[in-house]
């Protein structure tokens, strides 16, 4: 079940989502999840985190993981995530999430994990099938349930993970009583699957991304290599293509109709459209690039805010952990009684 929002406002609901620091953040991340989270922070109780425990399934290089994690945090803040309006932290700074993963593991049906398409996808790309990769959806369920997430904005690729989370929470509550909130995914129709430059889903692991930040020359090159067909210049062009979809992300309804008209009109050159799309992208992200440079030079500010976010998030996590420990008969020792 997916949530339909009225302009994305869910009167003071806990809206929660996370992102992996497994590489450079890209346009798919921005339009699929980040831009909505940033919009929702004004009207909702927003919880947002960088999932570095999840990234361990693909990165085993300490420096790379550390760099990617701080870069992802700076990217999110540059794009408008305000740590004063939200709770923003790095996953490993609230380690209770590992404890709850173990508790939840005991109510997970293996068939559910066997059917995980993202697990199968990763195996097909040659990743070692270790336990971390296999139990990835349980850690993700833990991320959501431990903070009482009610609405979870994500792209289409995370839908199955949300179904697994709902299944785990329902099973847990059936066995132990009402402890966890059953979350709803929030998937936006027009941005649920942003294509990459090769026309497949934009994904760090497919090497087809357009990064949000970086050298102008490199990013321009990415736009210029968006795959197009060889339709004769005098013939109408297909609008169900990566180029049209990517351009649409920056357009309102009437601008989109205008672009569709240009695709239908003989003489249109893909190269011209790609150049315009790049210019559009470059000016859209201009203010964010300036903020990004500022944060790069004020990393202490970023670390301080992440620390405060982790402290706030820990309080919520501890509340749910205590309820779960009590419900399961684990409340021994002075801290838990
Ligand atoms: P991740 O890091 O792969 O992606 C972050 C968010 O970006 C969305 N996204 C896309 N949306 C549309 N089109 C695309 N091409 C595209 N590529 C990425 C993703 O759907 C996601 O919403 N498992 C999660 C991270 C996670 C999480 C969580 C999310 C861990 N714990 C708890 C929500 C709640 C992941 O790998 O996302």
pLDDT digit string, tens, across residues 74-120: 999 999 999 999 999 999 999 999 999 999 999 999 999 999 998 99
What Cα–Cα distance (Å) separates residue 78 from each residue in 83, 179, 290, 336? Answer: 11, 36, 8, 39
pLDDT band at 6 (very low <50, low <70, confident <90, very high): low
Residue having the nearest C-alpha atom to atom 20 of ligand 1? 155
pLDDT digit string, tens, across residues 155-193: 999 999 999 999 999 999 999 999 999 999 999 999 999
Say what the pLDDT of residue 9 is: 67
Tell me how far apart the alpha carbons of residues 229 and 82 are, in angstroms, rounded to a whole number.
42
- Ligand 1 contacts CB of residue 157 (under 6 A): yes
Which residue in this structure is represented by tokens 């315009």? 276
Say what the pLDDT of residue 335 is: 54
Tell me how far apart the alpha carbons of residues 143 and 14 are, in angstroms, rounded to a whole number.
13
- Ligand 1 contacts CB of residue 194 (under 6 A): yes
pLDDT digit string, tens, across residues 256-281: 999 999 999 999 999 999 999 999 99
- Ligand 1 contacts CB of residue 193 (under 6 A): yes
Positions marked catalytic? 122, 201, 204
Tell me how far apart the alpha carbons of residues 226 and 221 are, in angstroms, rounded to a whole number.
9
Tokens, residue 176: 């132990």
Question: Ligand 1: which of 133, 155, 189 to mutate, judged by most atoms within 8 Å of the beta carbon?
Answer: 155
Residue in 45, 66, 51, 56 with CA at minimum distance from that of residue 141: 51
């Amino acid at each position: 079940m997916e949530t339909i929002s009225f302009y994305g406002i869910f009167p003071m609901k806990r809206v929660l989502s996370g992102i992996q620091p497994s590489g450079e953040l890209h346009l798919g991340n921005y339009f699929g999840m980040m831009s909505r989270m940033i919009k929702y922070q004004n009207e909702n109780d927003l919880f947002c985190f960088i999932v570095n425990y999840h990234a361990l399934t693909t990165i085993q290089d300490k420096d790379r993981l550390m760099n990617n994690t701080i870069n992802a945090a700076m990217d999110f803040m540059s794009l408008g995530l305000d740590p004063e309006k939200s709770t923003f932290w790095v996953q490993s700074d609230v380690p209770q999430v590992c404890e709850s993963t173990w508790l939840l593991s005991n109510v997970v049906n293996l068939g559910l994990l066997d059917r995980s398409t993202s697990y199968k996808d990763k195996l097909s790309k040659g990743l070692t099938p270790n336990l971390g990769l296999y139990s990835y959806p349980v850690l993700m369920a833990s991320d959501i349930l431990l903070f009482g997430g009610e609405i979870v904005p994500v792209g289409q690729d995370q839908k199955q993970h949300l179904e697994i989370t709902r299944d785990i929470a329902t099973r847990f509550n059936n066995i132990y009583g009402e402890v966890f909130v059953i979350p709803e995914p929030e998937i936006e129709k027009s941005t649920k699957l942003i294509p990459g430059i090769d026309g497949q889903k934009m994904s760090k692991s497919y090497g087809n991304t357009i990064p949000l930040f970086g050298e102008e020359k490199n990013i321009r090159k990415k736009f210029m290599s968006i795959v197009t067909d060889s339709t004769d210049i005098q013939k109408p062009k297909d609008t169900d293509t990566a180029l049209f979809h990517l351009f649409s992300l920056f357009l309102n309804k009437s601008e989109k109709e205008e672009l569709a008209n240009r695709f239908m009109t003989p003489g249109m050159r893909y190269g011209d459209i790609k150049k315009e799309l790049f210019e559009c992208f470059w000016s859209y992200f201009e203010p964010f690039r300036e903020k990004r440079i500022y944060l790069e030079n004020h990393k202490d500010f970023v670390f301080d805010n992440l620390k405060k976010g982790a402290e706030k998030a820990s309080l919520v996590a501890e509340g749910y952990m205590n309820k779960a420990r009590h419900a399961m008969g684990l409340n021994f020792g002075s801290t838990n009684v």
